[in-house]
């Protein structure tokens, strides 16, 4: 081993012990029209590299706000969010976001939608097309490359939005109720597609995912851990680990093991705040 190899190995070792995302006593206040809204009271918690973590909590409690902090779209009023040990100070190239709203570009084909982020990053056309085609195949959208979003179902459009994020090959994927506009059956099948795309035996090859949802079964089925938030101003009430093996399969969705974890999450949603216990 050369000296440089040794330094690199030490850096890798250090990084592997640093959590990917670290919420360190984060609080957020919004000031608008002379009124101050306390959105996040205090959240602390760490997400390991390659983990799939869901965030559930009542509507308006601050879930999107937390993702905005990680995305670097907003700064906390107190505390720090760190990625790889560094305070987030703005949007980062290694982070991709999928929103609830249909965010496909309606004038572009499926292929050009999936390749859009790569185009913005000025990846050469041949490479962009190859990467986009690979993702399109994994999403089961082969044959639809030239279709416009208006010619697709809602579930297919959301797969295109997921594809755009995966094509960028980010280390970190932030998903804000990405299946919120889909019916139950469709959201389950898009969830399966997402897990297939995300899963790798090798933890280093898995993207870290922060996934906001209010579907507790979906949260448990997809995740390694579910973070349960209180009503606004939000606090982390509890973190529920999901002891189901991977890869997840459809029969697990209705298994007693999964149902038991779902109940734990739903009970936690009714918990009083830490200071009231």
* 51-90 footprint of Mg ion as x/- string (CB under 5 A): -------------x--------------------------
- Phi first, then psi, for residue 96 (nearest 5°) are -125, 150
* 4-43 footprint of ligand ADP as x/- string (CB under 6 A): --------------------------x-x----x-x----
Contacting residues for 73 by C-beta, under 8 A, at least 6 apart: 91
- Phi first, then psi, for residue 210 (nearest 5°) are -110, 120
Q: Give min distance, CB of 27 to Mg ion, in A.
A: 18
Q: How many Å is the maximal CA-CA distance in the chain?
A: 61
103/129 with CB nearer ligand ADP: 103
CA pair distance 241, 51, nearest whole angstrom: 11
- Phi first, then psi, for residue 92 (nearest 5°) are -120, 150
For position 100 contacting Mg ion by CB under 5 A, the verdict is: no
Q: Give min distance, CB of 203 to ligand ADP, in A.
A: 29
For position 64 contacting ligand ADP by CB under 6 A, the verdict is: yes
Length of the chain: 277
* 199-238 footprint of ligand ADP as x/- string (CB under 6 A): ---------------------------------x------
Cβ proximity of 22 and 9 under 8 Å: no
44/259 with CB nearer ligand ADP: 44
Q: Which does 163 bind (CB under 5 to 8 A by kind): Mg ion, ligand ADP, none?
A: none
For position 62 contacting ligand ADP by CB under 6 A, the verdict is: yes
Q: Give min distance, CB of 35 to ligand ADP, in A.
A: 8
32/254 with CB nearer ligand ADP: 32
Cβ proximity of 253 and 245 under 8 Å: no
Cβ proximity of 174 and 98 under 8 Å: yes
Residue showing tokens 């209010």: 214
Contacting residues for 189 by C-beta, under 8 A, at least 6 apart: 155
List Cα–Cα distances, 207 to 65, 87, 96, in angstroms.
Answer: 21, 20, 10
Q: Give min distance, CB of 170 to ligand ADP, in A.
A: 21
Binding site for ligand ADP (CB under 6 A): 30, 32, 37, 39, 57, 59-65, 232
């Amino acid at each position: 081993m050369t000296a440089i190899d040794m330094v690199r190995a030490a850096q890798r070792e250090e990084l592997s012990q640093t959590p990917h995302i670290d919420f360190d006593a984060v609080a957020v206040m919004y000031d608008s029209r002379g009124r101050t809204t306390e959105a996040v009271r205090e959240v602390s918690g760490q997400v390991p590299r390659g983990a799939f973590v869901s965030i559930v909590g009542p509507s308006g409690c601050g879930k999107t706000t937390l993702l905005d902090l990680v995305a670097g779209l907003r700064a906390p009023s107190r505390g720090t969010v760190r990625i790889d040990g560094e305070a987030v100070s703005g949007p980062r190239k290694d982070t991709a976001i999928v929103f609830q709203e249909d965010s496909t570009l309606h004038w572009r084909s499926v292929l050009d939608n999936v390749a859009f982020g790569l185009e913005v990053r000025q990846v050469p056309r041949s490479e962009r097309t190859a990467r986009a085609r690979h993702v399109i195949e994994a999403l089961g959208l082969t044959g639809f490359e030239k279709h416009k979003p208006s010619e697709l179902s809602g579930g297919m459009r959301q797969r295109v939005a997921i594809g755009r994020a995966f094509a960028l090959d980010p280390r970190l994927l932030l998903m804000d109720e990405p299946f919120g506009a889909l019916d139950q059956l469709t959201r389950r099948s898009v969830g399966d597609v997402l897990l297939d795309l995300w899963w790798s035996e090798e933890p280093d090859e898995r993207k870290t995912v922060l996934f906001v949802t209010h579907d507790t079964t979906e949260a448990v089925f997809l995740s390694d851990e579910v973070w349960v938030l209180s009503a606004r101003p939000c606090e982390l009430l509890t973190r529920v680990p999901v002891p189901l093996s991977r890869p997840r399969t459809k029969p697990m969705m209705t298994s007693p093991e999964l149902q038991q974890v779902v109940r734990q999450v739903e009970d936690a949603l009714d918990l009083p705040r830490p200071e009231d216990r």
